[in-house]
Structure 1
Amino acid sequence: MKTLHLVISELSALRHIFRLGQMSLITLLAACASPYQPEYTQPAVPEKEAWKASIPDSQDVIRPDWWAGFEDAYLNQLVDQAVAGDYDLKLLATRIEIAAAAAGVERANALPKFSPDASKRFQRDPTGDSDTYSLSFSSSWELDVWGRVQKGIESKESEFRATEADWVAGYLKLVADVSSKYFEIRKLDRQIEQQKKSIEQNDKILAIYQFQIAEGLVSKSKVLQQEAEAFSKHKELLEFKRQRDVAENQLATLLGVPSGEFNVPTDVTQNEIVIPAVPVGLPSTLLSRRPDIIAQEYRVLAAYQLLGQAKLEKLPKFSLTADGGVSSNTLSQLLNKWSLGLAPSVSIPIFDKSISANIRSNEAQVKLAEDQYRQTVIKAFEEVETTLVNIASRKEQRNSLLLQVENLEVVNRNTNTQLKEGLVSQLEVFEVERTLLSAKQSVLDVDQQILADTVKLYKALGGGWSETDIR
């Protein structure tokens, strides 16, 4: 029977043997290419020195609840409901749990494996019956001498961080989609209201023409032309209502509610809305703030770590197995006799061609991940640049349309004054009012586009999330 002191002495001797083996192997491999990778560095991307549109030189961080800057209580309520009910966001949260579990499995696989076994054996032979009781165990453990196992753990942890960033990106996209869809419904409600007024004006003009044709003052073609315009306006009104129903169904899906069982009250869409000024940081902060870029770089890091693990497969693997147990014909004597065996082993993959193939495969995976990272960065630059250009241009368009509306309102007032004095006909008044309503429709279109572009800009800049550094 081995004493505990003897077992400890043997373990100490084994550690000494492994140290000597490691030093010899390092010397042997010194003449070969090093299997170790250099430190990870962020993939190089094209630099963005400046933006075409004017950006304030501000380090302000966008508030996390940036949508509250629109000062619309109903929008805030929609966002809360969407975050709680959207299934895309729930799927992303589940992927985080899966990635966390995968990282836990990888860490567990690095620990020693211990398998106990207890049994009772009954034997009958000519000498008589006998019972044998036994309790045994076996254990195995790969010693992570080179850090190969740790590379696998780090890769799984990087993928876990990437899924967390995916959730943030999904959250940001959800809020942006809810906001944009709500603003679209607001615009359609106002367009429907304006279109109804325009139809009323058109009907009044048509009534005048019908009276004039009875008096022989205009030709029938004039009436037919006005009727055709009336049909066109009714068609546009139906189209606005159709678009609203579709937008409402899409918004219901974002909220996690069955389509047809949710509607936006028209009274909440009539309130004035504030277009906030977005505090934009310097261009250099974009790469560290957008969650999709952060997620993609974590995937580059994960691929890089797997490549490092693949390269370390060329080095010998050290493992330690142990087995032991006790056995006796009686339970009372079971612990009196026991045995312990220790067996160190070294595996040297000299002729394993699959290792080189696996390295080439992982090198390609790293290149793919880096290219996807650069593609994400380039698209981010495009999104910000395009949105800034759109906002600047549409604000100029809005100013021009407002001047047009202002001028038409002056013309409308003058025409109404002239009508009272008998200088113009009622028909001319209606024509001016119809033109004014059409200009106001255009203002509504541009207002909605500015709101949608403002939401896109918040999303393109990564929302209000703090900077993350993965290195």
Structure 2
Amino acid sequence: MNDTLSSRLKHGALAGTAAALLCGCADVSMKPYQRPDTPTKGAWSSQQGLPVAPAEMIAPDWWKQFRDPYLDGLVERALNANFDLKILAARRRVAGAEIDEARAGALPTLDAGAGASFEKSTGQKFTKQFNLGTQVNWEIDVWGKVAKGVEAQTAEFNATEADWRAGYLTLVSDVSTTYFQIMQFDEQIDQQQKTLAKNREILATYEAMMGQGLVPQTRVLQQRAEINRMSNDLIELGRLRALAGNALATLLGAPAGEFKVPTGSLRQRVELPTVPEGLPSQLLKRRPDIVAAEYRVLVAYDLVGQAKLAQLPSVSLTGRGGTSSFALGSLLKSFTFGLLPSINFPIFDPGVKARLKTSEARTEVAEQQYRRVVIAAFEEVENALINLDAHRRQRIELQQQSEQLGVVAAQVEAQLKEGMVSQLEVFEAQRTLLSSQLALLANHQQILSDTVTLYKALGGGWPPVDVRNAARY
């Protein structure tokens, strides 16, 4: 009998040693986290003469540089009421709560229960029994598996924080550009109405001349068709203005149709910003969407570490205590207590290996997504620089064109008084001038929108963020 027991103990010791050796062969090493390599961007293709402030000079409330108090009020209202931003804030709170949930995995759990049983059999006395018991379970985080999970969830929280910042920046940009469009439509409608009035005067002149046999009927019909076209364009401008107003209402968290922007003039209400030249550095650390993507790479990195640590033995401690009695009054007079430490070796668990492979594959996905966000950011900045530079140069040409056409219109009107030209030539000169002014107005709106887009592409006024593992703070 003693030989049998001794043999069993030897076999158990050998099995435990073999399991420890198997676990010791598991690769749980992790290289220090490094930002995924991406194509580098040494310089931007177009910088000279662009109204872009150095990074440290981009204020968080950069939209106030447009000097429009009404726009400031719209942005403040949107930041307080926009539902997309509220959703991002709620996700951030969820991620914060999940940090505590992950941290709770390293804490012991306590269960308590009470019960009673009543039994009556034929020929036997009625019996009753009462019991009270507790149990403590604690899986000790010897290798740091839970801690690694906390690090991963902390990185996810930081990613949701960056998501909120990106949503904040997108919201301000959308509110600003939509407001600029509405103001542009208002000026276009005003100019279109003036142009339409001029063309109706031309039509009246043509009709009078046709009555005198000076112009054919086809000329009158052509002018009427031109008025029809311009009236149609005016209706279209009104439609676009209404749609832009609905879009702005949604951004402000108001039902479409219940919020109206007062009629205004873009060039009178919104100033072109005059800020120092120079492009901010550290784009990869300033853009919230890039920061969020890198934090999710860190999440995947930590989950790989957690999956590797799952290959090691788990140590747990179970404690039980309780009492039972046939009488409720004597229930608390005696207690029993037990302590059961245990260690479990994952000798063969296909799920552990599969989870590790899945985590490693997800890391690759996160890294490629990060690279995609970086490449898209480079394109967005370059496009904004190109658009802003081209529109600023076009503005010079359009201003010169408008000034020259203004001189022409004034001279033609002076020549009319001397009888050197007809009234029709005056109308034509004025109509051409109005057309050039509309082009200059559209250019003003494009520069404003380009400036907003560039600030957004450069990360707005958010400070640089160093993505690091939570354990290093």
TM-score, L = length of structure 2: 0.89
Number of the residue aligned with 1:18: none
Alignment of 1:245-264 (within 5 A): 245-264=242-261
Tell me: CA distance 1:127–1:210, structure 2 relative to 1, closer, same or farther (3 Å).
Answer: closer
CA contact (8 A) 2:312 2:345 kept: yes
CA offsets per residue over residues 3-35 of structure 1, 9 Å max, x none?
xxxxxxxxxxxxxxxxxxxx9899836973531
CA contact (8 A) 1:137 1:325 kept: yes
Q: How many residues align?
A: 451
Number of the residue aligned with 2:231: 234
- Residue 316 of structure 1 deviates from its aligned partner by 1.2
- Residue 255 of structure 1 deviates from its aligned partner by 0.9
1:382 aligns with 2:365: no
CA contact (8 A) 2:54 2:280 kept: no
Secondary structure, aligned partner of 1:322: strand
Number of the residue aligned with 1:134: 131
CA offsets per residue over residues 87-118 of structure 1, 9 Å max, x none?
11111112112222222222123211110112
Tell me the amino acid that sits aligned with residue 447 of structure 1: H
CA offsets per residue over residues 250-308 of structure 1, 9 Å max, x none?
11111111111111111475733211145577554111111111111111111111111
- d(CA) in 1 for partners of 2:60 and 2:141? 43
Tell me the amino acid that sits aligned with residue 212 of structure 2: E
Give the one of 200, 204, 218 matched to 1:203: 200
Number of the residue aligned with 1:44: 37
Number of the residue aligned with 1:70: 66
CA contact (8 A) 1:278 1:458 kept: no
Give the one of 147, 166, 169 matched to 1:169: 166
Alignment of 1:61-460 (within 5 A): 61-122=57-118, 131-267=128-264, 271-277=268-274, 282=279, 284-330=281-327, 333-460=330-457
1:58 aligns with 2:54: yes
- d(CA) in 2 for partners of 1:53 and 1:258? 42
CA contact (8 A) 1:401 1:439 kept: yes
CA contact (8 A) 1:61 1:281 kept: no
- d(CA) in 1 for partners of 2:18 and 2:46? 60
CA contact (8 A) 1:61 1:466 kept: no
Secondary structure, aligned partner of 1:448: helix
- d(CA) in 2 for partners of 1:213 and 1:348? 104
Number of the residue aligned with 1:10: none
CA contact (8 A) 2:267 2:444 kept: no
Tell me: CA distance 1:157–1:24, structure 2 relative to 1, closer, same or farther (3 Å).
Answer: farther
CA offsets per residue over residues 297-328 of structure 1, 9 Å max, x none?
11111111111111112111111111112334
Tell me: CA distance 1:79–1:303, structure 2 relative to 1, closer, same or farther (3 Å).
Answer: same
1:466 aligns with 2:463: yes
- d(CA) in 1 for partners of 2:53 and 2:427? 50
Tell me: CA distance 1:82–1:283, structure 2 relative to 1, closer, same or farther (3 Å).
Answer: closer
Tell me: CA distance 1:106–1:100, structure 2 relative to 1, closer, same or farther (3 Å).
Answer: same
Tell me the amino acid that sits aligned with residue 157 of structure 1: T
Tell me the amino acid that sits aligned with residue 451 of structure 2: T
- Residue 351 of structure 1 deviates from its aligned partner by 1.8
Tell me: CA distance 1:116–1:27, structure 2 relative to 1, closer, same or farther (3 Å).
Answer: closer
Secondary structure, aligned partner of 1:141: strand
CA offsets per residue over residues 58-98 of structure 1, 9 Å max, x none?
34241111111111111111111111221111111121122
- d(CA) in 1 for partners of 2:115 and 2:278? 69
Secondary structure, aligned partner of 2:339: strand
Larger CA deviation: 145-154 vs 44-53: 145-154
Secondary structure, aligned partner of 1:271: helix
- Residue 392 of structure 1 deviates from its aligned partner by 0.5
Tell me: CA distance 1:87–1:273, structure 2 relative to 1, closer, same or farther (3 Å).
Answer: same
Tell me the amino acid that sits aligned with residue 38 of structure 2: V
CA contact (8 A) 1:198 1:437 kept: yes
CA contact (8 A) 2:23 2:345 kept: no
- d(CA) in 2 for partners of 1:185 and 1:431? 29
Calculate percent identity across the aligned residue pairs.
Answer: 49
- Residue 359 of structure 1 deviates from its aligned partner by 1.4
- Residue 228 of structure 1 deviates from its aligned partner by 1.6
Larger CA deviation: 244-253 vs 461-470: 461-470
Secondary structure, aligned partner of 2:56: coil
CA contact (8 A) 1:36 1:312 kept: no
Tell me: CA distance 1:415–1:128, structure 2 relative to 1, closer, same or farther (3 Å).
Answer: same
